[in-house]
Chain A
Amino acid sequence: MSDEELRKKYDVWDEKTNEMLKKFPERGNFRTTWEEDIKRLYTPLELGDYFEIGFPGKYPYTRGVQNTMYRGKLWTMRQYAGFGTAEESNKRYKYLLEQGQSGLSVAFDLPTQIGYDSDDAHSLGEVGKVGVAIDSLADMETLFEGIPLGKVSTSMTINSTAAILLAMYLNVGEKQGANRDKLRGTIQNDVLKEYIARGTYIFPPQPSMRVITNIFEFCSKEMPLWNTISISGYHIREAGADAVQEVAFTLADGIEYVRAAVKAGLDPNVFGKRLSFFFAAHNDFLEEIAKFRAARRMWAKLMKEKFNVTNPSAMKLKFHTQTSGSTLTAQQPENNIVRVTLQALAAVLGGTQSLHTNSRDEALALPTEESVKIALKTQQIIAYESGVAKTVDPLAGSYYIESLTDSIEKHAFEYIDKIEELGGMVNAIESGYVQQEISNRSYEYQKKIESGEQIVVGVNKFTVEETSSKRLLKVNDEIEKGQIGRLRALKRERDNKKVAKSLSVLENVARTDDNLMHPIIDAVRVYATVGEISNVLRKVFGEYKESITI
């Protein structure tokens, strides 16, 4: 059938259907999360140039970054975990590895992420609460005790203090006999999204960008297997963004990092391979699948066209996915298992490289071991029972999926152009533009839930009387005391002259343009703490203050 014939047939069908609507109206209006109308029916008329869809492992990578995808190797099942002391987290990691998890993912507590020692006044009440507390190399040694760093790959959710934690990891590895060039893993290291959505920033954007490029440079020379950044849309989405905003702002951050690295003299054909991404898998099943595909295609185009990259591996957008915590409810928590299943399935159908599935008690507390187990089993069921991993990109060619993919690409590029007009992401953040766009969406979404336009099962519809018999994980308050005790002992016992010297070297280097990694590695090795190192940098770089948007 030619397009013309098809269009005619479609028009006839459409007219008939409209006729029927008078008698049988539809349930309402249907829209994407970015407020575009969704048509009743999608047809081959929607399909664009097949080149845009292409082949897996081939530019523009809409269908995936490898030729065989999950037929070759399943995605990495990686549960984000960590709390309390290094010792406790060490136990949890060993448990997860025994349960068949294929890589580690470390959650740090907020003081560690924001560069305060556990005994700092700012740390009151936060030590070990939402992740593991690391003050010095000594804690890091405990954290990975008995886990061979040469064999596992470790992802660390660490940003403003990423250089310090990476330096510690490398030291632990070397003490275990694993050379730094053999270590595999990822640091999040994406500070731009901290200003936008996640909040663990320390320094103003300019010096932060410098630290990040220092890490890029260091790793490109000495840790070739390490992923130096995980450019994250997850937090942007979870702060309330829609699917288009998630893609647009993440890739705009990516552009800024590549630009900075190129300016520092690095070759995007080389470091481009070590960039990785991190997205959310939200509720809207089909939209999410399209989102991952669109992001992949857009990044390939950006690398090729904007940065003249010729090496195909440097154009491939590889990403980690986490299911969306903010869609999970405190009410009827068992329902969350179903939500997570759908979201995880979307991530797999979208071609993710690794996946974290949230636990049913997400909106109540950190997950219990029992809940984490169900979440991990969910992935195993998708991988081994559902059959979706048997072929590559099974939903390609769906008129709706392809149309959504195109639409996300189009709208996200519009945002990216706008941000470039504003002078790039740093300016867009400083003026509060990006934060305000997200806040607006988040507010609209909240109002939709309250008006009943957006139904959340168990919250604004199908509610039941809650019985509060939930068994929750409780982080012991004594952890703070214990950690402070250990820190004080360390500060007494280590060679404080060496520490002072290493910190003053660090300060001097910070005032020049030289790479910060080497003095940080040296400082860490003599047991200078996260707080001490961060404070030296605070003194030189200053601190960031957020622009208030609501």
Chain B
Amino acid sequence: MIKVMIAKPGLDGHDRGAKVVARTLRDAGMEVIYTGIRQTPEQIVQSAIDEDVDILGISILSGAHMKLVPKILELLREKKASVPVFVGGIIPDEDVDKLKEMGVIEVYGPGTSTSEISEQVKSFVEHSDT
């Protein structure tokens, strides 16, 4: 059973994409925690740890990703949690590279097929299952 958390950090209210992704993952047989909007990085990280999720998906369209995603990664490290992180939303190409360097597994932009996302989550979790 795959357990995922889809979180929306910061003040961003764009939840259409996050909801579509959350629902797709649920309908693909996963257990999904969708946090709703306006979560602080601290809340997201502690929840992901307490819920022991297999994967954490962050959705940001507000442009605050270069502040919020690094903060989340840093808190995860601080708390010795090894939760893989995915990001989706409006992320300019140059930032995609930077985020990946920081340890984000994959970044998904507008127009991505959700079934592709669900396949990739599945295969990622299965392969990291040791």
* Contact between A and B in the complex (any CB pair below 8 Å): yes
Judging by beta carbons under 8 Å apart, are B20 and A443 in contact? Answer: yes
Judging by beta carbons under 8 Å apart, are B15 and A199 in contact? Answer: yes
B26 at the interface (CB under 8 A from A): yes
Known pairs A114-B11, A124-B71, A129-B62; A199 contacts B37 (CB<8 A): yes
A548 at the interface (CB under 8 A from B): yes
CB distance from A489 to the nearest CB of B (A): 23
A123-137 interface with B by 8 A CB criterion = 123-126, 129-130
1/0 per residue, CB under 8 A from A, across B22-35: the answer is 11101000001010
Judging by beta carbons under 8 Å apart, are A125 and B10 in contact? Answer: yes
Residue ID in chain B nearest A451 by CB atoms: B115
B48-88 interface with A by 8 A CB criterion = 62-68, 71
> Which are the 7 A-B pairs with shortest beta-carbon distances?
A199-B13, A125-B67, A125-B64, A110-B11, A129-B63, A330-B110, A550-B19
Judging by beta carbons under 8 Å apart, are B90 and A472 in contact? Answer: no
- Chain A interface residue count, CB cutoff 8 Å, equals 45
Known pairs A330-B111, A365-B90; A126 contacts B11 (CB<8 A): yes
Most buried by A among B38, B40, B93: B38
Question: CB < 8 Å: which of B24, B36, B92, B111 contacts A546?
Answer: B36
A260 at the interface (CB under 8 A from B): no
1/0 per residue, CB under 8 A from A, across B74-114: the answer is 00000000000000001011000000000000000111011
Q: How far is the CA of A238 from the CA of B61 in the complex (A)?
A: 14
Judging by beta carbons under 8 Å apart, are B109 and A330 in contact? Answer: yes
Q: How far is the CA of A149 from the CA of B23 in the complex (A)?
A: 47
Judging by beta carbons under 8 Å apart, are A442 and B113 in contact? Answer: no
Q: How far is the CA of A198 from the CA of B11 in the complex (A)?
A: 11
CB distance from B36 to the nearest CB of A (A): 5
18 further contact pairs, Cβ within 8 A, besides A129-B62, A365-B90, A446-B20: A110-B62, A113-B11, A124-B64, A125-B65, A125-B67, A126-B11, A194-B13, A199-B37, A330-B111, A363-B110, A446-B24, A450-B113, A450-B114, A450-B115, A456-B111, A546-B37, A549-B19, A550-B32
7 pairs, CB–CB < 8 Å, chain A vs chain B: A110-B12, A111-B11, A126-B11, A200-B13, A326-B16, A442-B16, A550-B34
Known pairs A364-B90, A364-B92, A442-B19; A126 contacts B114 (CB<8 A): no
For B64, the chain A residues whose CB sits under 8 A away are 124-126, 129
Question: CB < 8 Å: which of A366, A439, A475 contacts B19?
Answer: A439
Q: Measuring CB to CB, which residues of chain B are less than 8 angstroms from any residue of chain A?
A: 10-16, 19-20, 22-24, 26, 32, 34, 36-38, 40, 62-68, 71, 90, 92-93, 109-111, 113-115
A477 at the interface (CB under 8 A from B): yes
Most buried by A among B32, B34, B40, B64: B64
A45 at the interface (CB under 8 A from B): no
Most buried by A among B19, B23, B65, B93: B19
Q: How far is the CA of A472 from the CA of B10 in the complex (A)?
A: 23
Q: Measuring CB to CB, which residues of chain A are less than 8 angstroms from any residue of chain B?
A: 110-111, 113-114, 116, 121-126, 129-130, 194, 198-200, 238-240, 326, 329-331, 363-366, 439, 442-443, 446, 450, 456, 459, 468, 472, 474-475, 477, 545-546, 548-550
Judging by beta carbons under 8 Å apart, are B26 and A331 in contact? Answer: no
Judging by beta carbons under 8 Å apart, are A472 and B92 in contact? Answer: yes
Judging by beta carbons under 8 Å apart, are B62 and A122 in contact? Answer: no
Judging by beta carbons under 8 Å apart, are A475 and B111 in contact? Answer: no
For A113, the chain B residues whose CB sits under 8 A away are 11
CB distance from A336 to the nearest CB of B (A): 12
CB distance from A534 to the nearest CB of B (A): 13
Known pairs A240-B16, A331-B111, A550-B34; A126 contacts B10 (CB<8 A): yes
Q: How far is the CA of A502 from the CA of B92 in the complex (A)?
A: 44
Q: How far is the CA of A121 from the CA of B68 in the complex (A)?
A: 12
For B36, the chain A residues whose CB sits under 8 A away are 545-546, 548
